[in-house]
Amino acid sequence: MTTDYKNIAVEKDNGITWVMFNRPEKRNAMSPQLHYEMDDALMRLAIDDETKVLIITGKGDAFSAGQDLKLYFRETENDPVAKQRAQQAANSWRWHRITSFPKPTIAMVNGYCFGGAFTQVCACDIAIASDTATFGLSEVNWGVIPGGIVSWNIAELLNHRDAMFYAMTGLPFDGRKAAEIKLVNYSVPADQLHDETVKIAKLLMEKNPATLRYTKEAVRHVRGMSHDQAYNFLGAKLLALQQVDKEKGMQKGLNEFLDSKTYKPGFGEFKR
Ligand code: COA
């Protein structure tokens, strides 16, 4: 696979890497080819030094209308190998590559977000939506269940009442509602979405990257652990961070707060 992508666009801008679904005429529905390209792009960007923060969004008016009903479902119906390849790539990038991405990930939900597209929203560390974005678990409306891992995503992230209600009714809801039920962190007016997302990306880039990576890994992995497992894991994780942190952030933080009294960690960003 070359990086001459046709279904996605990758743009780098001063540390922020934008990965955009690029089938606006099909509301950015996810074809097998789009999945292969996303899988390849995220593999490369994970080890790309220019990428400090990743933002995933859609070109045009849609975030993504979910799986492409024609190319992902119908056209692979009688081709088990093609179906298997597409399913594996879809699951790989939407869950494994995003959740293990070593830098912060933000889903910027700019418009339609249906069905299978919930997975990448849930996988990102942070999600910000336009007030007017339209979300929907439309699967029930065309005879399937929220498959792939969508049912698992909503069971994990939403409260039980909301997960059941939206999965069973298939009713669409807007970005404000998505924020209220905590599918996204918050929503903003459409004309502020880009700048607000960039603001958060820049805030994250101010942080010590090793501390940030270990923080997101810590919070993500303790989910599902017992108290004792978490205590043990976090202790080991903190020691590991001190080994890999080239900026020696902890020593610097202690010195600046306790000795030179030049910095208060409770206020604002870590000075780098
Ligand atoms: N799969 C395949 N094609 C899709 C698609 C999808 N999920 N979503 C949209 N498209 C295509 C349409 O077929 C249409 O193609 P055409 O111009 O060749 O006819 C084009 O994108 C524009 O879609 P259209 O329905 O005309 O746009 P709209 O703005 O009126 O409605 C949606 C947008 C997203 C509400 C509507 O297309 C829809 O319901 N899509 C299916 C959503 C879904 O159930 N996804 C879950 C899959 S897991």
Q: Which residue ranges have their beta carbon within 6 Å of ligand 1? A: 26-27, 29, 65-70, 112, 114-116, 138-139
User: Atom 41 of ligand 1 has which residue's CA nearest to it?
Assistant: 65
How many angstroms is it from 55 CA to the middle of ligand 1?
Answer: 23
Q: How far apart are CA 105 and CA 99, in angstroms?
A: 9
**Ligand 1 pocket test, candidate residues 21, 23, 26, 27, most atoms within 8 A of CB:** 27
Question: Would the pLDDT of 237 be above 70?
Answer: yes
Residues 6 or more apart in contact with residue 266 via CB below 8 angstroms: none
Residues 6 or more apart in contact with residue 24 via CB below 8 angstroms: 58, 59, 60, 61, 62
Residues 6 or more apart in contact with residue 79 via CB below 8 angstroms: none
Select from 110, 270, 134, 130 the least CA-distant residue to 204: 270
pLDDT of residue 2: 65
Which of the four pLDDT bands, split at 50, 70 and 90, describes residue 16?
very high
Q: Which residues of 223-252 are buried (b: 16+ CB within 10 A; e: fewer)?
A: eeeeeeebeeebeebeeebeeebeeebeeb
Domain extent listing, the chain: 8-205, 209-259
Which of the four pLDDT bands, split at 50, 70 and 90, describes residue 270?
low
pTM score: 0.96
pLDDT of residue 3: 85
pLDDT of residue 1: 59
User: Residues of the chain with pLDDT > 90: what percent?
Assistant: 94
pLDDT of residue 263: 87
- pLDDT tens digits along 88-119: 999 999 999 999 999 999 999 999 999 999 99
How many angstroms is it from 25 CA to the middle of ligand 1?
Answer: 9
- pLDDT tens digits along 20-53: 999 999 999 999 999 999 999 999 999 999 999 9
How many angstroms is it from 65 CA to the middle of ligand 1?
Answer: 6
What is the average pLDDT value for the chain, to the nearest integer?
Answer: 96
Q: How far apart are CA 17 and CA 245, in angstroms?
A: 23
CATH topology of domain 8-205: 2-enoyl-CoA Hydratase; Chain A, domain 1 (3.90.226)
pLDDT of residue 207: 94
- pLDDT tens digits along 183-203: 999 999 999 999 999 999 999
- pLDDT tens digits along 112-139: 999 999 999 999 999 999 999 999 999 9
207 — phi, psi (to 5°)? Answer: -80, 160
